[in-house]
Amino acid sequence: MIVIPAIDLHEGSVVRLKKGVFKDVTYYSKNPAEVARSFADAGAKRIHVVDLDGSLKGTGVNTDAIESICNATGLPVELGGGIRSMSDAQRIFDLGVAFVILGTMVVKDRDCAKEIIRAFPGRVAIGIDALKGRVAVHGWKEVTDTTAVMLAKEYEEVSPAFVVYTDIDRDGMLTGVNIGETRALAEQVNIPVVASGGVSSIDDLAALLEIPKLLGAITGKAVYEGKIDLKQAIARIES
């Protein structure tokens, strides 16, 4: 399992939200590239980036910031937010991003999502964000009747690179990860899983390490708030 530090972008700045609510935004840096370099210096092997504005508007917004992150370190960057078409995916790849993460369209336009996954083998992941077990879309504004496991199983046939599973109730809250739901997804679906939401300590990462087949764990606010020393976490979890 790898530890994946996160950069959430809002109007070009590095921020964190609580449960995806923009009124609860905390600003950490106006220099995303500098943040990315600090992650590389700590030993990160990959960086997770979310275009928060893109998630709401349905199109890429923070392109300059995204490109600067990609150019800053040479590390693989995975990005979600605002990708709704084949051309969107290609545009993001052209910025230097290694993996795109499809979110809303995984539910709303499944045929197109599967077409994009097939078109870029091994480079397209799916993001599944769940609120009380149900998948949420459109920047978490709309909750569906579909469960995370149900949705992921539907995509096994097209072999996405991985699935990022986020527990919305825990995202940005430093309340600990949802081990049970994450384990259930990893055990029931034949797609590598990356856990996200609620990581508050190295102990949370160590607990996730016990889940078989878990590809990685994303941590954001805990790093920014000094709850996790990224270098120490990587040394302990990835050794």
β-sheet bridge partners, residue 134: 131, 147
CATH number for the domain whose boundaries are 2-237: 3.20.20.70
Locate the domains of the chain by residue range.
Answer: 2-237
Query: For 142-192, how does the pLDDT look when each residue is reduced to its tens digit (9 = 90+)?
Result: 677 888 999 999 999 999 999 999 887 554 445 567 888 899 899 999 999
31-67: per-residue pLDDT in tens?
A: 999 999 999 999 999 999 999 887 776 666 799 999 9
Which amino acids are annotated catalytic? 8, 129
- Say if pTM beats, i.e. exceeds, 0.85: yes
Three-state secondary-structure class, residue 221: helix
Is the CB of residue 36 less than 8 Å from the CB of residue 7?
Answer: yes
pLDDT at 82: 86
Backbone angles phi, psi at 84, to 5 degrees: -125, 0
